[in-house]
Amino acid sequence: MKRIGKRHVLSFMLVGTLLFTGCISSTREALHTKMQEGEVLLQQERYEEAVAYFEELYETNWDSISLMEKLELSIILKTSRESLKKAEVYLAEEQFAEALKALEGVYKEDEKGVLLKEALLEDLKVAFVSKSHTLLEKAKFDEALALLEEYQTLRGADEDIMVLHETILQEKEKEEMLEEEGDLLLPEDQP
């Protein structure tokens, strides 16, 4: 009788273990399916929705490391893209220092965001160069030089900017020499 009792207990434990393992397995499968749904949101660049989705999923699956990683990635991507949008607005408003500061919020994990950041940095440079050329054409040399110096302060040394800076300096010197020659030719000082 004792032997039969032990068998029943062992059988009961075995069945219980199998049922528990089956529940865990189905829970893992359900989590995996939900994780894939969240991954689709990330692929569609719907980062705000992905953050909300993974946060909700995390409430009941707080022990899942892969879920924590997806939630963290979603937050990083959302923050990164928000920074890009701010930078675009600042650039359009010619608030260059603010645009650069906003671009600091683009994370390296956001590969597409990094490419967009580089494009915005190039747009920033083009804006400075274009504005400097306009000032040069209007013979506003000091303003053009100050603008290029501002760029170098914000972004550091740049070969194209340095060449343009030198060109403006040369044009300024030519203008000053012409003015001096004109002053010498004017008979203002004669009685």
Q: Show Cβ contacts of residue 88 under 8 Å, excluding neighbours closer than 6 positions.
A: 99, 120
Residue 28 binned pLDDT confidence (cut-offs 50, 70, 90): confident
pTM of the model: 0.72
**In the predicted model, what is the mean pLDDT of residues 66-71?**
93
Least confidently predicted of 4-8, 37-41, 153-157: 4-8
Question: Which among 53, 55, 106, 116 is positioned nearest to 78, based on CA atoms?
Answer: 106
Q: How many helices (H) and strands (E) does the chain have?
A: 7, 0
pLDDT at 175 over 80: yes
Split at pLDDT 50, 70, 90, the class of 10 is: low
Q: Model confidence at 22, in pLDDT bands (50, 70, 90)?
A: very low
Task: Give residue 88's identity as a one-letter amino acid code.
Answer: E
- Residue 23 amino acid letter: C
Under 8 Å between Cβ of 74 and 39: no
Mean pLDDT of the chain: 86
**Residue 171 CB burial class (10 angstroms; 0-12, 13-18, ≥19):** middle
Helices (H), the chain: 2-43, 47-60, 65-92, 96-103, 111-137, 141-155, 159-185
- HSE at residue 23, side-chain half, CA atoms within 13 A, is 6
